[in-house]
Amino acid sequence: MDQALLAQEEHIAEYKKRPSVTAVANGRFHLIGEHSWFAKDKTLSMAVDLPVYVCVSARQDASLRFYFSQLEERKKSTLPSIKFRKEDKWANAIKAIVYGFTSGGFELNGMDFTIYSEVLPSAGCGITTAIKIACAYAIRKLFNLPCSDAQLLQVVERGNKLFLNIENYIADNFAAIYSKEGNVVLTDYGKYSCDLIPFDFEDKVILLTDAKVPRVEMWNEESIQQPENVLLLGELKERKTNAYGGWIYEDNPTEINEVLSVVKEDMRRRLTCIMKEHNFVMEAQKSLNAKEFGGFARAVNHSHKSMRDGYELSCPEIDWILKRLQEINPNIEDSRNPVSCGRITGKGFGRMTYTIMNRCDEENFRNTLVEYEKIFGFKPSCYEVKPSGGVKILG
């Protein structure tokens, strides 16, 4: 049965009434650049066919009821007393959107929500963002609110900053909203805008793997996001009219070393990685537009190596998986044009990796995951995904 119908049936079973609105938003992952948002750089992202369905119906009172079908969990609140509660976990994402509307002057009534997602928020993959975006669009439709798309983004941002007390990762929101099937999204933080780039490699398969490694913070990432570091990176940006976004980073090693000489060695290394990430995003964009998989894959592989060694982002388990990928089909004859690529993905020190390879290599790769489980003791989850579209109202 269609997942949207299953979600609606779950809503009926839970609340004894049909949902007035059903919205769907897809999960996503970031290919390159998700750690450089604070410097107003760029991020390359892909929405994928891991759908999150949100069913909503209005109530006659001010109560809010939340039900997550796959978790079989129920939470509740009220409009007048809505607040963040750690124990509410996934439901806080919905409450943040409700708060984003009410704090912006929009009037709401009580609501019943059903969340239906076969991939749980704990897996990453942008599921929590998909919940937020689908809820925002569903609530706007439910109450026929005079709220433009730009205002809807402000609703999400108020919910993130004022209710959840987290940063706004606009690449997350843009991927969930503006994606189109068969494309990736390039977000320019400096211009608060995004562009779509075709991902035209039908002979390739994309796999998202949750390595199930416990997330351990290797160092405090907030330390790199301090204003003084942003100013240093700003000194190293050069205006270029023919460059995407209108600027590039300085590539003169002497100039770079002089500007970054005021910070400690570990910070200099990490700031250099942020600069490299921007270059890798631009290399990937150029190759995607030219439909050259080799150049794109090279940028991805170099990004992982840079973030692993300089940013201290990866872990032995993720590195083992990616090393096995490169051994499957190394393309020895032309090492500059790899036929596969992979990288750690996710904000923070994530446990997810994405891999892109020839369809004929998929079985060998999945066999390495069996070996991975035997060696490391973690049972990975692996999803085949495709570039997919943004949020939609289904009814």
**pLDDT for residue 183 is more than 70:** yes
With contact defined as beta carbons under 8 Å apart, do 47 and 175 qualify?
yes
Structure tokens at 165: 């007390």
The rounded distance, in Å, linking the Cα atoms of 317 and 307 is 15
**Active-site annotation holds for 172:** yes
Mean pLDDT of 292-316: 94
Mean pLDDT of 251-260: 94
pLDDT at 350: 61
The rounded distance, in Å, linking the Cα atoms of 215 and 314 is 10
Question: Which has more pLDDT, 272 or 315?
Answer: 272
Mean pLDDT of 183-209: 96
With contact defined as beta carbons under 8 Å apart, do 170 and 150 qualify?
no
The predicted-structure confidence for 73-123, as pLDDT tens digits, reads as follows 999 999 999 999 999 999 999 999 999 999 999 999 999 999 999 988 877
The predicted-structure confidence for 312-350, as pLDDT tens digits, reads as follows 988 899 999 999 999 997 775 666 789 999 999 876 566
pLDDT at 348: 56
pLDDT at 380: 93
- One of 41, 172, 188, 210 is an active-site residue; which one? 172
Alpha-helix runs per DSSP H in 185-264: 227-235, 253-259
pLDDT at 215: 73
Structure tokens at 172: 């997350």
**pLDDT for residue 213 is more than 70:** yes
Mean pLDDT of 215-231: 89
Mean pLDDT of 165-193: 95
Percent of the chain whose pLDDT exceeds 70: 97
The rounded distance, in Å, linking the Cα atoms of 60 and 107 is 14
Q: What is the pTM of this model?
A: 0.94
Pairing mode, if any, of strands 73-78 and 63-68?
antiparallel
Mean pLDDT of 304-308: 95
Average pLDDT over the chain, rounded to an integer: 94
Structure tokens at 72: 């079989």
Percentages helix, strand, coil for the chain, rounded to the nearest 5?
A: 45, 25, 30
